[in-house]
Amino acid sequence: MKITLSEKMNEFQTSIFNELANYKKLKLLEGKELIDLSIGSPDLPPPDFVMDELQKNVQDPSQYGYTLTGTEELHQAITNYYHRQFDVHLKGETEVIMLMGSQDGLVHLPLVLTNPEDIILVPDPGYTAYDAGISLAGARPYKMPLKEENQFLPDLNAIPEEICKKAKVLILNFPGNPVPAIATKEFFKKVVQFAKENHLVVIHDFAYSELYYEEKPISFLSVDGAKDVGVEFNSLSKSFNMAGCRIGYIVGHESIITGLNRLKSNLDYGVFLPIQKAAISALNHSAQYSEQLRNIYKKRRDSLVTGLNELGWKVEFPKASMFIWAKVPKPFTSTEFAYKLIDEAGIVVTPGNAFGKEGEGYVRIALTQHEELLEKAVSRLKELPIFSLNSQK
């Protein structure tokens, strides 16, 4: 029998990520040694105290039932963490819910907030889960270009008035993926005003809040009036290397939290209790671990960016996140350059156009390999003709 998929599946085509994965497999089968700098997943384990907590609790036979929601202890740990880190006061009972990783909420929240054909303002380039959520809801994206000349912040004044009238949601992501930009307090104040004027819900994706270097990122909810118009997603995947545990959370406006909670009560049965307890341990001891993690990523960043600049590839030092957003040398497109690096240097990066039209001309490089491998990548690049002449000057 021939199976026909729904028309909705036409909106979920094979992406450049799948193409790259297949090409990597082909090269590995050919015996090529690859340095993979395309993966946005931590290569480091969680801290010992998190793994100890998880190990202890998985031995308890009473912890294998449905949890349905986040425990009261987890919600309290989240509220304490936000108060301690960002001076944001939250009500654990009504302004916090647990998620199966922040992507769980990012993909499902448009179903709560929009009707088919409503407009969602979304960054371009941006994290691919945003488009997935918009498609599921049947809403329409309006792409806000992130330009270097505007510090990769969207120009809210450039959004046409007719779009503002139809839009229901504004999605932001600082520090960002793929663009590791940081928002200013002044920008967030403009966002709050813009949202109130246009009756918009603001969704801020704050998954990289702990991965910063010289400048600490600002929580959107720390700005006056922000909780009146929006919510903030956070995750333990990147901050505590718990990506496979699939646990995150959303905080902010009570009505939005209630709506998503109602939807999720029809979709899943919660997160395994030992993982929740491990997350509580992580949040309660964040200060002692986060500084260590930042130091590791900072050394990686400094080593790689310095090496690339010495080759003549002018790359900016990111202020936050685990990514470098690098301009592609002329005359290559993003995809051409990405495949050239695989073929000629055995280095895998992600072409910027995988994250949207405005990503053309860039590649995303992940700092998810140890320093020695990053230095090896620079050495390989040095042998390429496009860099070898510059490096010999």
Confirm whether pTM is higher than 0.75. Answer: yes
Give the class (CATH, top level) of 7-45+288-384: alpha beta
DSSP character for 95?
S
pLDDT, position 13: 67
Note the pLDDT tens digit of each residue in 271-283. 999 999 999 999 9
**Residue-wise pLDDT tens digits, 77-96:** 999 999 999 999 999 999 99
Under the banding of pLDDT at 50, 70 and 90, the label for residue 17 is confident
Secondary structure (DSSP) of 28-84: HHTT---EE----S--SPPPHHHHHHHHHHHT-GGG-S---S--HHHHHHHHHHHHH
pLDDT in tens, 173-213: 999 999 999 999 999 999 999 999 999 999 999 999 999 99
Domain coordinates of the chain in residue numbers? 7-45+288-384, 62-285
- What digits encode the pLDDT tens for the residues 208-266? 999 999 999 999 999 999 999 999 999 999 999 999 999 999 999 999 999 999 999 99
| 62-285: CATH architecture | 3-Layer(aba) Sandwich (3.40)
Give 14's pLDDT tier (boundaries 50, 70, 90).
low
42, 370, 339: which is closest to 208 by C-alpha? 42
DSSP 157-194: GGS-HHHHHHEEEEEEESS-SSS-----HHHHHHHHHH
Element holding 320 (H helix, E strand)? none
